[in-house]
Structure 1
Amino acid sequence: MLRSQFEEDLLNLHNQFYEMGMMVSSAIHKSVKAYVKHDKQLAKEVIAYDDHINELEISLEKRSFEMIALQQPVTTDLRNIITVMKASSDLERMGDHAVSIAKSTIRVKGQQRIAEVEKEISDMSDYVKKMVDNVLVAYVKTDQKDARMIAQMDEKVNKYYNDIYYMTIDSMKENPETVISGTEYLYVAQYLERIGDYVTNICEWIVYLATGKITELGSSQEPKRE
C-alpha cells in the first residue's frame, strides 16, 4: 500500500513538473513574440502569469520535502525527488528570464529598431523554445541519450548570441540612434542564452536520474568574432 502511494505521489510530482515546464515554455514564446511585435499587453500577461509558475515551484518543493520526511525514500526514489526539486528550480529561473524579456518590451518606447537583429532574436527564441520542449519530453522518459543531445544544442544558442552581439554592436557604431534599442537587444539575447544554460542544467539532472552520476554537459561562452 505504502509503495503504491509513494509511486502515485511521485507520478503527481513529475506531472506537476511537466505542467510547470509547459507554462515556462509558453512564457518564453510569448515574451519574445511580445518583444518583436512591440505588444505591451502580451508582455504584461507574461509578467502577471509568472506568479502561477512561482506558486507551482513552491508547491513542488513543499511536496518533495513532505515525501522525503514522511516516506524516507532511498537510492533511486530519493534521486527522483531531488531531480524534481533541482530541475523545477531551473524552470523557475527560466520563467524569471521570460519576465525580464517582457519587461524589456514595456521599456522600449519609440526607439529606432534594427529589423535584422529582431529577426535573429526571434529565430533564437524559437530554437530555445524547441530545446525547452524537448527537454521536458526527455525528462518524462528519463532519456539520458536525448538529454545529452539536447545539451549539445546549446552550442547553437551560444552562436546565436554571438551573432546578435556583433550585429548589434556594429549597428550601434553605424547609427547612434539605435543605441537604446540595441542595448535592450543585448539584454534579451543574454536572457535567452541563460535559458539555454538552464535547459542544459536540466539535461544534467536527467543524466543524474538515469545514472546516479553528476555529469557536466554543454559549455557557456563569451562572444567572439568567428
Structure 2
Amino acid sequence: MVGREKFDADLNLVQSLLLDLSNTAIDTLDNSMNYLFEKDIEGALSILDSDEQINRMEEEVNDRVILLIAKQQPVATDLRRLMVLVKIAADMERIGDYACNIAKETIRIGKDEHIEPIVLLDEMRNKTIIMLRQVLDAFTTQNIEEAKNIAKLDDEVDEMYGHIIRTLLTAGINNPALLSQVTQLSFVCRYLERSADHATNIAERLLYLLKGKHYELNN
C-alpha cells in the first residue's frame, strides 16, 4: 500500500472510531434521561460505569491522530481534518460527562415523587438529541446546510432552557419543600443546554473543515 493509500485508510479508521465514540456518547446522554424519568437508580449507576469507556474511546482517537501526524506528516488540509477530529472527540467526551452528571442527579433524587416541571425536560432532551444526531450526520455527509441549521435548533434549546428554569424556580418559591429537587433538575437542564452547545461547536468545526475559516453560529 502506497503512502497516500495508507494515510487514507488510517484516517478512515480514526473517523470510524470517532463515530463510534459519538454514537456511544449520544446514546449515553439519552439513556441517562430515561433513567431519570423512570427513577431507575441501577440504570443511573450503569451510566457512571460507562464514563471510563467513553474516556478510553476519546483517548484512542487522540492517540491514533498523534501517530498519523508523527508518521505521515500530513499536508495542511489533512492536518486540519485531524485537528477537527480531536476537537470533536473532546466535545463528545464532554457530553458523556454530562450524562454522568445527570445520572448523579437521578441518584440524588432517588425514588422521590417527581415535581411537575420535569415533564418539560423531555421535550428539551428530544431537541438536544436531535441536534446531536443531526450534526453527526452533517459531519458524516459533509453537509454544510445541515450544519448551519444547528444554530436554529440551539436557539430553540436556549429558549426551552430559560422557560424550564423559570418554571422550576417558581415551583420552588411556591413550595420551599421542593427546593432540593428544583436544584437537581435545574442542573439537569443546564447539562442538556451545554450538550446542545457542543453540537453547535461541532457544526462550527465542520464549517472550518470544509471552508477553511472559523464561523460562530451562535452569534
Bucket of the pairwise TM-score, normalised by the shorter protein: over 0.9
Tell me the secondary structure at the aligned position of residue 110 of structure 2. Answer: coil
* 1:30-41 equivalent positions in 2, closer than 5 A: 30-41=31-42
Work out the CA distance in 1 between the residues paired with 2:46 and 2:95: 16
Tell me the secondary structure at the aligned position of residue 113 of structure 1. Answer: coil
Compute the RMSD of aligned alpha carbons.
1.1
Work out the CA distance in 2 between the residues paired with 1:146 and 1:56: 26
Work out the CA distance in 1 between the residues paired with 2:152 and 2:75: 31
Work out the CA distance in 1 between the residues paired with 2:184 and 2:148: 32
* Alignment-derived partner of residue 222 in structure 1: none
Identical-pair percentage:
31
TM-score calculated relative to the size of structure 2: 0.96
Kept in 1: contact 2:157–2:193 (CA 8 A): yes
Q: Is 1:49 aligned with 2:46?
A: no
Tell me the secondary structure at the aligned position of residue 63 of structure 2. Answer: helix
Task: Write the letter of the residue equivalent to 1:129.
Answer: I
**How big is each residue's C-alpha offset from its partner over 1:66-125, in whole Å with a ceiling of 9 and x where there is no partner?**
10111111121111101100111011011100100001101113545312x111111111
Tell me the secondary structure at the aligned position of residue 50 of structure 1. Answer: helix
Work out the CA distance in 2 between the residues paired with 1:113 and 1:19: 34
* Alignment-derived partner of residue 182 in structure 1: 182
Task: Write the letter of the residue equivalent to 2:105.
Answer: S
Work out the CA distance in 1 between the residues paired with 2:47 and 2:151: 26
Work out the CA distance in 2 between the residues paired with 1:157 and 1:128: 7
* Alignment-derived partner of residue 140 in structure 2: 140
Kept in 2: contact 1:161–1:189 (CA 8 A): yes
TM-score calculated relative to the size of structure 1: 0.94
Mind listing any 5+ residue stretches in structure 2 that lack a counterpart? none
Work out the CA distance in 2 between the residues paired with 1:120 and 1:14: 35
Mind listing any 5+ residue stretches in structure 1 that lack a counterpart? 220-226
**How big is each residue's C-alpha offset from its partner over 1:9-30, in whole Å with a ceiling of 9 and x where there is no partner?**
1111111111111101111111
* 1:147-166 equivalent positions in 2, closer than 5 A: 147-166=147-166
Q: Runs of 4 or more off by more than 6 Å in structure 1? A: none
* Alignment-derived partner of residue 75 in structure 2: 74
